[in-house]
Amino acid sequence: MITSYRSTSKWLAVLPVVAMLTFVVAPTLNIFIISLNFESFAILTAQTTRSVVWFTMWQAIISTILVLLFAMPIAAMTANFDFFGRRALISVISVPFILPTVVVGVAFLEILPTRIHQSAFAIIIAHIYFNFGLVVRIISSRWQQINPHLDDVARTLGASKIRLFVTVTLPLLKNSLRSAGILVFLMCFTSYGVIRILGGPARSTIETEIYFRAMQLGDVSGALVLSILQLVVVGVLILLTTQFGTTKSAELSQMVFSRIRKPQTPGQIVLITSVASISTFVVVMPLVSVVRRSILIGQKINFSIWQSIFTDEEISKSLTTSLKYAVFTIVVSTTIGLFGACSIIYGSARYRFLNLLTALPVVVSAVTLGLGLIITFDVNPIDWRGAWLMMPIAHCLVAIPIVMRIISPTIRDLPNGLRDASQTLGATTWQMWRTIDLRIIKPALMSAAAVACAVSLGEFGASSFLVRRNNETLPLMISRLLGRPGEIIQAQAYAIATLLIVACVAIIGLVDHLGTEKNR
């Protein structure tokens, strides 16, 4: 709690609370109320549902294990060695995570042989690609905080490098490995865009099944029951994360050590060069293939598609819609996220409920969020199904938990002594907030705004439910164009995906640049 701002906490909480109650809690409760009849629950015993649940579960488990295995060597390298291009490598491997899932799907359609399209293998590969950069970041940042003298102590006590890793490093990384693992599992369990593009009709997860039942079969009550099933699984997992994820991590984060050193032996140099080159190639290759496909028609290079991208009325309209929604998401989610984060940190312990409330969009999942909104706001006087605002509101709901988690650590870590100093130098509460808090959290706020922009540009799950004739966004357009025959149309989809890749690369560059500024 920050005494100077304590009285403002309740006012700051109003906007996030109203937004979450109206657009997340009410629609979710509505899903429960509407599905509360035993007949609807019969779907849970159907063979199709059982196989969908089983597939959702096993592909998520396998994807998570493989992501952790692939991420560990790169995390070890970036946490322990200072080499040329280290920062650039971290930025490059982070790009897939903020890419729209549809674009990742499209990229793997392009690089994988046609015979393994619509297979579990394709889905798992795409999930590894999408998530491993995030895991590297989480584990590497924790690894850097491990006191290097502990390594020395273990070595002098007779531990080999492997024993050192197993008996010292791994136990100290346990919490971050668990958090990263659960996060990846959640991302894969609720994966939608990748499955829609790479799964085809044979490979359905709970998330795609919800969409399929509600929008294609018209079985809304079946979709609602599946939403509840998913909600329960995700809710239990999030509870587990909060139960077990806190021990010792705070203690570690308070320490600052420099364990990063220059590679010394030729072996280390060769290993680092190889791992860095392979990781860069693995990240860049699918993206380059998307760009390549956007300029290839009939195996010949042709830039006419790119001309059409900027002249085609339909595409221009989608581009404008996506940009308009991105601006809306940046402004609204950053404001609500900032208010929420400040309210929790400035206020007493009773404001911590906001942490849970604002995390709800993650628990509920984007598709369920879209379904909830569509079934709740469809009766007078709140018949907003046709309102353009519903889709950007959904984008904001998906972005708010992320925005809050980017801003919160900076506000929490701001030494209270700076505020005291400001007050004794004559600053009022507002002047103090403006000249100290806001100035110091500005880089984090800008990073949050950039990530909110990426979330909006790539949002696909909730948007699939809320799309109307006049508000198709770029990911929705890619998905629609891919479903139509014709090389030119397909190339258009790849050109739009290229635009989104460029936007995401720029966003990661900006976020990492701001991060460097902040840490200076």
Partner 1 sequence: MLDCRNLVVTYELTPVLQNLALYIGAGEIVALTGPSGSGKTTLLRCIAGLEVVDSGTILLSNEEITAKPAHSRRIGLVFQDNQLFPHLNVAKNISYSLMIQGTKQKLMDEKVAEVLELVGLTHLSQREVFKLSGGEAKRIAVARALVAQPKVLLLDEPLSGLDKELHARLLDDLGTLLRLRGTTTLHVTHDQNEANAIADRVLDIRNLMLH
Nearer to partner 1, 286 or 443 (CB): 443
Element (H, E) at 297: strand 296-297
CA-to-CA separations, 18 to 165, 222, 283, 303, 389, in angstroms, rounded: 48, 29, 40, 49, 17
Nearer to partner 1, 237 or 427 (CB): 427
- Sequential DSSP letters for 228-259: HHHHHHHHHHHHHHHHHS-TTHHHHHT-----
**The two three-digit tokens of residue 466, written as one number:** 């809320």
- Should residue 20 be labelled a site residue for partner 1 when binding is judged by CB under 8 A? no
Interatomic CA distance for residues 34 and 375, integer angstroms: 9
Span of 41-49, 72-80, 199-207, 424-432 interacting with partner 1 by CB under 8 A: 424-432
Which of 299, 424, 469, 486 lies at the binding interface for partner 1 (CB under 8 A)? Answer: 424
Span of 67-75, 282-290, 357-365, 416-424 interacting with partner 1 by CB under 8 A: 416-424
DSSP 202: T
Nearer to partner 1, 387 or 418 (CB): 418
Q: How far is the CB of 254 from partner 1 (least distance, A)?
A: 16
The amino acid at residue 90 is I
- Should residue 432 be labelled a site residue for partner 1 when binding is judged by CB under 8 A? yes
Q: How far is the CB of 312 from partner 1 (least distance, A)?
A: 46
**The two three-digit tokens of residue 93, written as one number:** 């491997």
Pairing mode, if any, of strands 300-301 and 382-383? unpaired
Q: How far is the CB of 422 from partner 1 (least distance, A)?
A: 7
- Should residue 423 be labelled a site residue for partner 1 when binding is judged by CB under 8 A? yes
Nearer to partner 1, 235 or 415 (CB): 415
Task: Note whether 125 and 67 are within 8 A (CB).
Answer: no
The 10 Å CB-count burial string (b at 16+, else e) for 482-501 is: beeeeeeebbbbbbbbbbbb
Beta bridge partners of 382: 379
Q: How far is the CB of 424 from partner 1 (least distance, A)?
A: 4
Q: How far is the CB of 510 from partner 1 (least distance, A)?
A: 19
- Should residue 412 be labelled a site residue for partner 1 when binding is judged by CB under 8 A? no
Helix H segments across 23-157? Answer: 26-35, 47-80, 86-98, 101-111, 120-143, 148-156
Span of 77-85, 429-437, 479-487, 497-505 interacting with partner 1 by CB under 8 A: 429-437
- Should residue 7 be labelled a site residue for partner 1 when binding is judged by CB under 8 A? no
Which of 14, 415, 488, 502 lies at the binding interface for partner 1 (CB under 8 A)? Answer: 415
Q: How many CA atoms lie within 13 A of 155 on its CB side?
A: 6
Interatomic CA distance for residues 319 and 158, integer angstroms: 61
- Should residue 413 be labelled a site residue for partner 1 when binding is judged by CB under 8 A? no
- Should residue 420 be labelled a site residue for partner 1 when binding is judged by CB under 8 A? yes
Nearer to partner 1, 8 or 140 (CB): 8
Q: How far is the CB of 5 from partner 1 (least distance, A)?
A: 13
Maximum C-alpha span of the chain: 74
Helix (H, G, I), strand (E, B) or coil at 423: helix
Nearer to partner 1, 116 or 421 (CB): 421
Size of the site for partner 1 (CB under 8 A): 19
Q: How far is the CB of 434 from partner 1 (least distance, A)?
A: 10
- Should residue 428 be labelled a site residue for partner 1 when binding is judged by CB under 8 A? yes
Span of 249-257, 272-280, 374-382, 411-419 interacting with partner 1 by CB under 8 A: 411-419
Nearer to partner 1, 7 or 242 (CB): 7
Nearer to partner 1, 469 or 520 (CB): 520
- Should residue 2 be labelled a site residue for partner 1 when binding is judged by CB under 8 A? no
Task: Note whether 407 and 337 are within 8 A (CB).
Answer: yes
- Should residue 74 be labelled a site residue for partner 1 when binding is judged by CB under 8 A? no
Q: Which of 362, 117, 69 has the alpha carbon at shortest distance from 61?
A: 69
Q: How far is the CB of 395 from partner 1 (least distance, A)?
A: 31
- Should residue 114 be labelled a site residue for partner 1 when binding is judged by CB under 8 A? no
- Should residue 436 be labelled a site residue for partner 1 when binding is judged by CB under 8 A? yes
Q: How far is the CB of 445 from partner 1 (least distance, A)?
A: 13
CA-to-CA separations, 274 to 264, 265, 279, 327, 517, in angstroms, rounded: 15, 14, 8, 40, 29
Q: How far is the CB of 415 from partner 1 (least distance, A)?
A: 7
- Should residue 296 be labelled a site residue for partner 1 when binding is judged by CB under 8 A? no
- Sequential DSSP letters for 305-352: HHHHHHH-HHHHHHHHHHHHHHHHHHHHHHHHHHHHHHHHHHS-GGGG
Q: Which of 303, 321, 288 has the alpha carbon at shortest distance from 497?
A: 288
Beta bridge partners of 296: 301
Q: How far is the CB of 403 from partner 1 (least distance, A)?
A: 21
Span of 10-18, 121-129, 246-254, 430-438 interacting with partner 1 by CB under 8 A: 430-438
Element (H, E) at 301: strand 300-301
Nearer to partner 1, 171 or 415 (CB): 415
Interatomic CA distance for residues 80 and 262, integer angstroms: 9
3-state secondary structure string, 340-353? HHHHHHHCCHHHHH
Which residues of this protein are in contact with partner 1, per CB under 8 A? 415, 417-418, 420-428, 431-432, 435-436, 439-440, 520
